[in-house]
Amino acid sequence: MKNLNVLITAGPTREYLDPVRYISNDSSGKMGFSLAAAAKKLGAEVTLVTGPVSLPTPKGVKRLDVTSAAEMKREVMKRSAGADIIVMAAAVADFRPQKFSRQKIKKQGRRARQVLNLAQNADILAELGRKKRPDQTLIGFAVETEDLEDRALKKLKEKKCDWIVANRHTVIGKDRGHAILLSKKGRRVVLPELPKDELAFIIFSHILD
Ligand code: CTP
């Protein structure tokens, strides 16, 4: 991966409702951080845009911390044109509270259904797919509770990815993972259960093949 610029996202995003409450996705950031460490060890220039996680920055990786999906989108889109490989491993929140209240929302005088109205966030991966140059490699993730491969294939096509890493939700937060890699050219690789650090190298070996 020498001389390649690799842009990786990791972790969840947080969508704040007021200064003390947010909605988010379950994500430790481990897979994205493992991919960033692997890409760096393979000689790439790596930028990691991460939501709130408690993980150390892999050595030599340029890290940018973000909170919301909108911030992640801004930082990713600023850097996407210069990237040879983009990996969207982040668990981006699909929805955000419609309004942010600067003051803590008090329960008194409110009905539960009045507290949370949601608006939809932009899909960063789909936007990257629309803007993708032929020389760029775009890798998405799909986390599913059922119909894993069908749904992952649908995302691969709809978001114009070159590869999608399909995962069951049971890998979230674990040190080990397993995955099925699906490519737009019809390749299908089933990876065994392994530490995420090792999986990261294997994922890149197939993608660069
Ligand atoms: N993704 C993104 N922006 C979003 C939502 C998701 O870039 N607003 C990216 C994720 O980083 C991941 C891929 O899209 O690479 C798939 O995310 P996933 O949450 O599995 O699927 P969604 O497209 O959000 O669809 P659904 O929630 O309906 O399964």
Cα distances from 192 to residues 92, 153, 195, in angstroms, run 26, 19, 10
| 4 beta partners | none
Instruction: Report the 3 state secondary structure along 163-188.
Output: EEEEEEHHHCCCCEEEEEEEECCCCE
Band (pLDDT 50/70/90 cuts) for residue 89 is very high
pTM over 0.85: yes
Residue located nearest, by CA, to atom 4 of ligand 1 = 123
> Phi and psi dihedrals of 82, rounded to 5?
-90, 5
Ligand 1 centroid – CA 68 distance (Å): 14
Residue 87 has pLDDT above 90, yes or no: yes
Give me the pLDDT at residue 42, please: 97
Give me the pLDDT at residue 133, please: 94
The set of protein residues with a Cβ atom below 6 angstroms from ligand 1 is 69, 88, 90, 92, 94, 121, 123-125, 140-143, 155
Band (pLDDT 50/70/90 cuts) for residue 132 is very high
Give me the pLDDT at residue 206, please: 96
Give me the pLDDT at residue 112, please: 81
Residue located nearest, by CA, to atom 24 of ligand 1 = 94
pLDDT tens-digit map of 62-83: 999 999 999 999 999 999 999 9
Q: Which domains does the chain have, with CATH numbers?
A: 5-96+119-207 (3.40.50.10300)
Give me the pLDDT at residue 59, please: 98
pLDDT tens-digit map of 166-192: 998 988 888 898 999 999 999 999 999
State how far the Cα of 60 lies from the Cα of 48, in Å rounded to an integer: 11
**Residues 6+ positions from 185 with CB-CB distance below 8 Å:** none
State how far the Cα of 29 lies from the Cα of 27, in Å rounded to an integer: 6
* Max Cα distance, the chain (Å): 60
Q: Please tell me the chain's helix, strand, coil percentages from 3-state DSSP, rounded to the nearest 5.
A: 30, 30, 40
In a 3-state reduction of DSSP, which class is residue 23? strand
DSSP class per residue in 117-140: -EEEPP-HHHHHHHH--TT-EEEE
**Atom of ligand 1 minimally distant from the CA of 140:** 15
> Phi and psi dihedrals of 96, rounded to 5?
-135, 155
Least Cα distance to 9 among 60, 47, 61, 38 occurs for: 47
pLDDT tens-digit map of 1-57: 999 999 999 999 999 999 999 999 999 999 999 999 999 999 999 999 999 999 999
**Residues 6+ positions from 205 with CB-CB distance below 8 Å:** none
